[in-house]
């Protein structure tokens, strides 16, 4: 483990930066790429994404060598990126045509990274379902069809890239896919019965159906890897789950302590219990949702047991307070009948405000989160996303944005929390990916919010490193060499 000081990290700790295909690639119609649900969502009128779309984005498709040069400049050991399903199988289905142009593009990316000594970490699905599957059978709303098509897509990726890619993530943030896509409707495909801009959807039922589809799709991909690829390719596979840590609003009130735990079960246990423990959904979810929560059959539990993963991918940004509610939950409630607050009963903030309303820097709660997740699910943790925008950064000039002292402090505090969770809480944490390599399309927030360690000029597409990009290198090198 190396040094056991409070700020140390293992000598083999893996670190780098993360991106997602739709947010940076652009080239939306190049090489036979099919539409994804985000292509459709971004072009709805009136706009649901502040007028932004991914048609060009950061033009990473044509500029990846420049971007990988930044990775080398920043000292990154690893790089996490996602594949666009519809760039590889334009219509998405298991009997649909494959795009060799799309496969060639990702081969070039992988080979370029390896030539630079940078380890690729590949996410199979980062929210961009082929529109063809949504049109054909409702996409994730069809539990049986979607998992079969996802398995075929995953197998194709293992076959074509697995000789060089040794680190796989099946899905990114299934909670966001399910809730933002099918409950609130603020993300693609925008289905909701409580969002006035949505014309289709049922918030009371659809998110839970989609959640089951995602769990079983993940399981089929992992089971396929374990059975047919692991022995010859020697890689590892996991999933990236998001989830805040929740503190009780009133720490002396047992009802608020229960509310905090219940909120984390709705946020994390929903997916983590079936995936990491091959167990049913949390009891708190059944108590509230009843028959609306689709059950697993015995054969599906058998599949979950076959789909043993190697690591827990954690996307963490912030924490909150949870306060119990005295009234019964609505059928549209998806948080566990709690109020989510940024200040507790005494008026204490969960953390320092950032450049986006939902994110406050809360490294002490992050440490608790790491310890809780590791000791509950007993898999090595990789932080697959962590980062922030600086206060006011959406209105800053390039020179102002580059001087990102808030982001540097955020990274340093959260990396210290990782060190403490390892050395003092006995958690196994093996890697960290900062979000994000580039300022990019932040989904429904458009191009205003900037999470990157590299400033992107969206008019010229010029990239400018921010101070945080090189600061991370010194942070990690110092801790991994026991100098801090």
53-73 average pLDDT score: 98
Cα distance between residue 379 and residue 398, in whole Å: 41
Q: Please, which pLDDT band fits residue 2 given cuts at 50, 70 and 90? A: very low
Cα distance between residue 5 and residue 38, in whole Å: 45
Q: Is the pLDDT of residue 160 over 90?
A: yes
456: tokens are 């992107």
For 130-154, the pLDDT digits (tens) are 999 999 999 999 999 999 999 999 9
Q: Please enumerate in sequence order all residues whose Cβ is within 8 A of that of 17, keeping only pairs 6 or more positions apart, or say none.
A: 71, 74, 76, 79, 80, 433, 434, 435, 436, 437, 453
416-426 average pLDDT score: 97
pLDDT at 92: 98
100: tokens are 């060799």
* pTM score: 0.97
Is there a contact between 246 and 339 (Cβ–Cβ < 8 Å)? no
pLDDT at 3: 37
288-309 average pLDDT score: 98
Q: Is the pLDDT of residue 480 over 90?
A: no
Dihedral angle over CA of 414, 126, 300, 273, nearest 10: 10
Cα distance between residue 254 and residue 202, in whole Å: 33
Query: What is the rounded average pLDDT for all residues in the chain?
Result: 97
pLDDT at 482: 63
For 230-284, the pLDDT digits (tens) are 999 999 999 999 999 999 999 999 999 999 999 999 999 999 999 999 999 999 9
pLDDT at 205: 98
Q: Is the pLDDT of residue 5 over 90?
A: no
86: tokens are 């519809």
- Please report the domains of the chain, with CATH numbers, ordered by start residue: 14-480 (3.20.20.80)
Q: Tokens 């899905």 label which residue?
A: 171
Cα distance between residue 424 and residue 413, in whole Å: 16
Query: What DSSP string describes 159-191?
Result: HHHTTT--EEEEEE-HHHHHHHHHTS-SSTT--
The total of other beta-carbon atoms located within 10 Å of residue 470's CB is 15
292-301 average pLDDT score: 98
Dihedral angle over CA of 358, 364, 367, 373, nearest 10: -50
Cα distance between residue 400 and residue 466, in whole Å: 10
Q: Is the pLDDT of residue 66 over 70?
A: yes
Give me the active site residues, please: 173, 385
pLDDT at 483: 53
Question: Can you tell me whether residue 120 is helix, strand or coil?
Answer: strand
Cα distance between residue 144 and residue 8, in whole Å: 46
Is there a contact between 286 and 313 (Cβ–Cβ < 8 Å)? no
For 76-112, the pLDDT digits (tens) are 999 999 999 999 999 999 999 999 999 999 999 999 9
């Amino acid at each position: 483990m190396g040094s056991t000081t409070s700020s140390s990290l293992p000598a083999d700790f893996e670190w780098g930066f993360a991106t997602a295909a739709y947010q940076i690639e652009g080239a939306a119609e190049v090489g036979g790429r099919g539409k994804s649900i985000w292509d459709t969502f971004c072009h709805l009128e009136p706009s649901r994404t502040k007028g932004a779309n991914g048609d060009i984005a950061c033009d990473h498709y044509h500029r990846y060598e420049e971007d990988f040069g930044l990775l080398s400049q920043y000292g990154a050991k690893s790089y996490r990126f996602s594949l666009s399903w519809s760039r590889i199988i334009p219509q998405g289905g298991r009997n649909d045509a494959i795009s060799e142009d799309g496969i060639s593009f990702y081969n070039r990316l992988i080979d370029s990274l390896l030539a630079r000594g940078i380890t690729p970490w590949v996410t199979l699905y980062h929210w961009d379902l082929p529109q063809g599957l949504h049109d054909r059978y409702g996409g994730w709303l069809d539990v049986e069809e979607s998992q079969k098509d996802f398995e075929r897509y995953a197998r194709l990726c293992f076959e074509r890239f697995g000789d060089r890619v040794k680190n796989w993530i099946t899905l990114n943030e299934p909670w966001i896919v399910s809730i933002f896509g099918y409950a609130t409707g603020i993300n693609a495909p925008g289905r909701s019965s409580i969002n006035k801009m949505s014309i289709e959807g049922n918030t009371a039922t659809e998110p839970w159906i989609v959640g089951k589809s995602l769990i079983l799709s993940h399981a089929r991909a992992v089971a396929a890897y374990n059975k047919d690829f692991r022995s010859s390719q020697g890689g590892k596979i996991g999933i990236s789950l998001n989830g805040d840590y929740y503190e009780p609003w009133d720490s002396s009130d047992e009802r608020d302590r229960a509310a905090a735990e219940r909120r984390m079960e709705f946020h994390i246990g929903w997916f983590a219990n079936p995936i990491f423990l091959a167990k049913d959904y949390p009891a708190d979810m059944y108590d509230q949702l009843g028959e609306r929560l689709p059950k697993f059959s015995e054969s599906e539990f058998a599949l979950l047991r076959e789909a043993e993963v190697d690591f827990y991918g954690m996307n963490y940004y912030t924490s909150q307070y949870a306060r119990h509610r005295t009234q019964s939950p609505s059928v549209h409630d998806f948080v566990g009948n709690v109020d989510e607050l940024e200040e507790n009963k005494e008026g204490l903030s969960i953390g320092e405000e950032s450049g986006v309303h939902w994110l406050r820097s809360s490294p002490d709660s992050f440490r608790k989160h790491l310890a809780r997740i590791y000791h509950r699910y007993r898999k090595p943790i990789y932080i697959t996303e962590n980062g922030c925008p600086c206060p006011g950064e959406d209105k800053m000039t390039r020179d102002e944005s580059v001087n990102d002292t808030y982001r540097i402090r955020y990274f340093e505090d959260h990396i210290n929390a990782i060190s403490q969770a390892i050395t003092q809480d006995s958690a196994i944490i093996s890697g960290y990916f900062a979000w994000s390599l580039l300022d990019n399309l932040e989904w429904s927030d458009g191009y205003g919010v900037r999470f990157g360690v590299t400033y992107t000029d969206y008019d010229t597409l010029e990239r400018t490193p921010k101070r945080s990009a090189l600061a991370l290198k010194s942070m990690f090198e110092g801790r991994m060499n026991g100098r801090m």
